[in-house]
Amino acid sequence: MSEPAAPGSRQRARVVVGAPAPAPPAFVYLASQSPRRRELLDQIGVRHRQLLPDPHEDAEALEAERAGETPRRYVERVTRAKLAAAHERRLARGLVAAPILCADTVVVLGRRILGKPRDAEDAAATLRQLSARTHRVITAVALHDGQVQRLAVSVSHVRFGRLDGPTIARYVAGGEPFGKAGAYAIQGRAGAWIAHIEGSYSGIMGLPLYETARLLRQAGLAFQGLPFSDGRSLM
């Protein structure tokens, strides 16, 4: 038992020198089925594991639009809802703790959200609306590191050239529009129609890498061989 300090004397706090820094997370969970988002994470060297919904989860219900909601508010709300569902999913499955990443992308013409086409007719109608016009692509990306939720939004402007009927018909027949917001994939054959982009190419694909990298750094995750400020690195 230590003796009390003498009156007027100063006690010095004990400092442990050379204590190892906590190990950074080794990977992130990606709460998305999108192969494009997986490819983009691979591109910047982020190790990840998919954390997909169970069969009983109604993932589509999270994407229902609300009256009077702006497109940006919509994509932020849906992304936060997906993140919360993924966090509960990890806990329910008893999986090891790691940051959870999710994103949502919408194509917007004016104030109207152009979702994934229901069928070939809907896909063709969407592409006719985008022809020779500029639209927005809004992607929200969110990260839950176990303690803090963070969210960032990327807004890009995309101008299409003029599309004629046969071009649209061939594209739809090839199947590429399905499962894509706005009925097109910029990394696919539709890339030949893009006259101008202002914003993030990766954000248009579905995961804005600049914003994603910033969120990952804030959560203490290193990637692509880039070290932390103290020199640690995962690669």
User: Which residue numbers are catalytic?
Assistant: 104
Q: What angle do CA 89, 90, 92 make, to 5 degrees?
A: 65
Report CA-CA distances (Å) from 5 to 8, 167, 228.
8, 86, 41
Q: Which amino acid is at 77?
A: R
CB 223 within 8 A of CB 212: no
Q: At 82, list the tokens.
A: 């997906």
Q: What is the CA radius of gyration of the chain?
A: 23
CB 106 within 8 A of CB 42: no
The closest of 29, 65, 45 to 181, measured between CA atoms, is: 65
φ/ψ bin of 71: left (φ > 0), alpha (ψ from -120 to 50), beta (otherwise): alpha
